[in-house]
Amino acid sequence: MATAVAASPAQSRKTETYTDTKRRDDVRGLNIAAARAVADAVRTSLGPRGMDKMISSGEQEVIITNDGATILSRMSLLQPAARMLAELSRSQDAAAGDGTTTVVVLAGSLLRRAQSLLSAGAHPTAAADALHRLATRAVEVLHAMAIPIELSDRDSLVKSASTALNSKVVSQYSSLLSPLAVDAALSVVDPAHPDLLDLRDIRVVKKLGGTVDDTELIRGLIFDKKASHAAGGPTRVENAKIAVIQFQVSPPKTDIEQSVIVSDYAQMDRILREERNYILGMVKKIKASGCNVLLIQKSILRDAVTDLSLHYLAKAKILVVKDVERDEIEFITKTLNCLPIANIEHFREDKLGYADLVEEVSVGESKIVKIMGIKDMGRTSTVLVRGSNQLVIDEAERSLHDALCVIRCLVNKRFLIAGGGAPEIEMSMQLAAWAKELQGMESYCIKEFAEALEITNILEENVVQPLLVSTSAITLACECVRMILKIDDIVTVR
């Protein structure tokens, strides 16, 4: 009896336990399938021969684009891993501005190879670790093939911007938009901070009418609205003294919502007289400072201007542009080199901006206000984008943004590499050769992932692109795939 008891622990040690990993494999396979489905959805829009997508929303809004970030941001994705690829595209957009489709297709290609590795018996952690080493080595390969560039080399900058536009709907206008993007970007680079380019200093104004050929770079300021001349005010002012105000040129209201009932005509006349005197006093202070152009911020509390105040401003020969958006004030004041005025008591000449000419001009069937010849103009640029319909204008704006982002990449990291699929093929060849020097499972994984980098439908000749676009794409794609590989369950919580 004692012998039997003594033998039982040894027997239990020899017994193998069975662990059911089917659920983990199913969850991982489901995640990979969902992410690959997203990548396949945008794959056909990649490269110079890429096709466009027409996105139709439930609100009858239609967008025609082949910009990966735009397509994925409009997709209604429910599966968590699929949403990760949409966020991956947004990350690439924030980091480099271009390559938003490339990074998703690259992640999908890596996931396809990862799936075959897992089917062959590789452990997910081993595949993820190999992918981390591959990303580090791939970045080294890209740096080795990069060519330094100076911002004074305008031709190379224009060629890089053209690469970003080659696959767009407006690619036939790249000879116009590429130099325009380069000039706009370089004009806002501050010599004190030569490695920084803030795209918020470049304002894009869209105006329906004409064609994309009519798009132009404005060395000044544009307002997509006409001057307020209902009371017969001026529409053209030379030697302009411009004020940006954030207060209302209208009668004050009570702080609480209430009604005042006036039953006596004498009292009514007194209220109207006080209102007139109040507005007239404000207009006299504005005129006394020498101001002859008034830019009025949009008000949510009460009317920024009334018919009476417009009448007095017209008599004072002051050009008025009303309903200026709050988020535009910083850009406007930086361009005009002036200060916003929040109260009539602070209205002084030293807070004004100066320009040679402010005039209302016709563009298509509507009018805009142009401010030209600004004295001591800040480092900003304005681009007026034209187009025959709203879809073309919106896509032209997105394409211009991508071209500007490419220039921003080159300002931040001044290296160029060959484009058109060349970096991917070079990385694939060198990583496959490196895999032969390694041993074990890591060698097998890296060889498999190296083959995933051969994206053949983007091949093109005489194309260059910023180094930052490719390094960002490979790093972000590998990071996203590693994260998906390491997930073995989905836990739903309330």
Radius of gyration of the chain (CA): 31
Examine the residue annotation and report whether 67 is marked as an active-site residue of this protein. yes
From 70, 100, 163, 382, active-site residue: 100
Q: Is 480 left (phi over 0), alpha (psi -120 to 50) or beta?
A: alpha
Q: How far is CA 248 from CA 74, 113, 207, 302, 311, in A?
A: 39, 63, 28, 8, 15
Examine the residue annotation and report whether 100 is marked as an active-site residue of this protein. yes
Phi, psi of 68 (to 5 degrees): -55, -45
Q: Which helix (H) or strand (E) holds 484?
A: helix 467-485
From 67, 93, 98, 201, active-site residue: 67
Phi, psi of 185 (to 5 degrees): -70, -45
DSSP 8-state assignment for residue 18: P
Phi, psi of 78 (to 5 degrees): -105, -35
Which amino acid makes up residue 57?
Answer: S
Examine the residue annotation and report whether 163 is marked as an active-site residue of this protein. no
Residues 419 and 416: their CA atoms lie apart, in Å, by: 9
- Are the C-beta atoms of 306 and 322 separated by less than 8 Å? no
Cα torsion angle, 416, 420, 426, 431, sign: positive
Residues 428 and 445: their CA atoms lie apart, in Å, by: 13
Task: Retrieve residue 261's tokens.
Answer: 């009932």
Residues 481 and 84: their CA atoms lie apart, in Å, by: 10
Which amino acid makes up residue 202?
Answer: I
- Are the C-beta atoms of 242 and 295 separated by less than 8 Å? yes
Phi, psi of 299 (to 5 degrees): -110, 140
State the CB neighbour count (10 A cutoff) for residue 240: 24
From 65, 70, 101, 475, active-site residue: 101
Q: Is 290 left (phi over 0), alpha (psi -120 to 50) or beta?
A: left
Task: Retrieve residue 66's tokens.
Answer: 């082949």
From 98, 201, 394, 402, active-site residue: 402
Residue with token string 């060395």: 219
* CA-wise closest residue to 250 among 302, 290, 292: 302
Residues 389 and 170: their CA atoms lie apart, in Å, by: 13
Task: Retrieve residue 189's tokens.
Answer: 């680079």
* CA-wise closest residue to 387 among 136, 244, 173: 173
Phi, psi of 420 (to 5 degrees): 65, 35
Q: Which residues are catalytic?
A: 67, 100-101, 402
